[in-house]
Amino acid sequence: MSTYDDIEIEDMTFLPETQMFTYPCPCGDRFEILLEDMFDGENIAVCPSCSLMIEVIFEPEDLAEFYEKAGLPAPTPIAA
C-alpha cells in the first residue's frame, strides 16, 4: 500500500464533536481518520473523494489528550 504523504498528528485538525482527525487533500476534500480507529492501531487516513491516503505519525499515548478534548474517558490502556 502506497501513501501520498506522512503527516504528524499535531499537523491534523481534531474535531471533538465527531472524534475525527482531518487533513487537507490535494483534491480539495480532506483525509479522515477516527480517534477510535487510531486507538485500535490504524494509522492510515483516507480521502473520501479520491484514492489518496496518508500515514498518520503518532504515539498511542498521544491519543489520551484527544479523548479529553472530546469529553470522553480514555480507553485503558493507551499503549501499543
Q: Is the pTM of this model over 0.85?
A: yes
Q: Which domains does the chain have, with CATH numbers?
A: 5-69 (3.10.660.10)
38-65 pLDDT, tens per residue? 999 999 999 999 999 999 999 988 999 9
18-43 pLDDT, tens per residue? 999 999 999 999 999 999 999 999 99
In whole angstroms, how far apart are CA 73 and each of 31, 41, 44, 70?
25, 18, 24, 9
65-79 pLDDT, tens per residue? 999 999 998 887 655
Question: d(Cα 27, Cα 17) in Å, to the nearest integer?
Answer: 25
pLDDT at 1: 66
